[in-house]
Amino acid sequence: MLFISISIVILLVLLLISVPVASTIAGVGIIIGYFFSDFPIFEAVGEITWSASTDFLLLSIPFFVLLGEILLHLGIAKKIYFALYQWLSFLPGGLLHANIASSAIFSSISGSSVATAATITTVAMPQCEKYGYKSGFFAGTIAAGGTLGILIPPSINLIVYGFLTNTSIPKLFIAGLVPGILLALLFMGFVLIYSILKKDKKQVKINVSCGARFTALKDLLPIIILFILIMGSIYAGFATPTESAALGVVLTLIITYFYGLLNKEVIKKSIIGTMRTTGMIMFIIIAANFLNFVLVSIGLTDDLSSFIEELKISKYAMLAIITLLFIVLGLFIETLSLMVITIPIVAPVMIALGFDSVWFGIYLIILIEMALITPPVGLNLYVVQGIRNKGNISEVMKACIPFVLIMILMAILMVIFPQISLYLVQYV
């Protein structure tokens, strides 16, 4: 277990001195590879970088990012929010349901939970003050709703997991659909019960006519069409995930044109945003792929599997340990970085123990979602509080605690009923 100890120490030291995550991962790979591997490690860097950066599957990432950037600069989030606000405001909790639903829908399409949290908060917070909602809990529902986007397809995080573990992306997408919707419904169910038990007399009831509700559907239509095109083209066998992402970008540009919003400024901002985000993601993925190669070349995965076998613990006990590990690491490391640091080590071991690769991917994503709303590094918390710009961030943190517990409940349900994620996979 010497390799594991050295890896952890080097990783922690580099992170503590604020070295960027991608550089940390690559640095750990080079140091371990240089001292413990028989491979010519510096020559391998170039070859692995080239093979990872030219993988056809990863081409889907800039397409999905570009799609999200275009939607972000169009104000589509505002249209989604107000359409859902008119359909869900009759429920106890009113706009809180619109916060969760609009955040979940927009983040799944945009590919960025943090960007979604920022956008929906900007749109929703004025309504919070207008209709007398408690600001802290209101903001907490947006932060929690934004986490759902990395589970509901199409998801960049699922693409990264599929790439790192050689798991089918279409199977991961379809496997994430039911858990994602179920988790959103559990969030909304909690809000419903909370609002009934703690009825706020200051909260103004919103009355919306049936005609206004059906008129608002036209604002949901672009997102519905996009989702059907992207997912439908994959499962109809018409396109690969990469090709469906490209189709999504083309359709988004067409929608933008018909809305009369297509201009140089939108295109310029979208392309710049895409380049920045894609560069960051690809640097991390390439570094993770290199570290994965090094760990396999030094036999760490085999050694770790043998060590676990010698411990003679059940696979569910090991799953409990991994769950606790991810919850703790999620307090300090953001989602994508947490994935690429841990998956090359954890996934092969858990799959060798008998867990389905697709099921384990969805399970991990649920655990990783928590990192977005757990301090001290919960990015959604800081983004929402920064735009809210009132009160204390502890109010948002406190509001997110029930949603973290619901995610833990969802993880338990996944273990007891694995078909929650695997039922639809058999039809792919």
User: What pLDDT sits at residue 8?
Assistant: 66
User: Measuring CA to CA, which residue among 273, 418, 413, 287 is closest to residue 357?
Assistant: 418
SS3 208: coil
Task: Record the tokens describing residue 357, joined without a space.
Answer: 């690769």
Q: How confident is the model at residue 4 (pLDDT cuts 50, 70, 90)?
A: low
| Helix ranges, 148-299 (H) | 156-165, 169-197, 210-235, 241-258, 264-297
Alpha-carbon span 44 to 26, nearest angstrom: 12
Arithmetic mean of pLDDT, 294-314: 73
- What is the residue-wise DSSP string for 291-323? HHHHHHHTTHHHHHHHHHHHHT--HHHHHHHHH
Residue 403 is predicted with a pLDDT of: 95
The yes-or-no verdict on residue 190 having pLDDT over 60 is yes
> Which of 18-22, 76-80, 300-304, 370-374 has the highest mean predicted lDDT (pLDDT)?
370-374
Confidence of residue 120 (pLDDT cuts 50, 70, 90): confident
Q: Would you state the pLDDT for residue 279?
A: 85
Q: Over 80: is that where the pLDDT of 357 sits?
A: yes
Higher pLDDT pick, 211 / 252: 252
pLDDT at 221 over 80: yes
Q: Is the pLDDT of residue 203 over 70?
A: no
pLDDT at 186: 96
Where does the pLDDT of residue 301 fall: very low under 50, low under 70, confident under 90, or very high at 90 and above? low
Whether pTM > 0.85 for this model: the answer is: yes
Among 19-23, 174-178, 185-189, 407-411, name the one with the lowest average pLDDT. Answer: 19-23
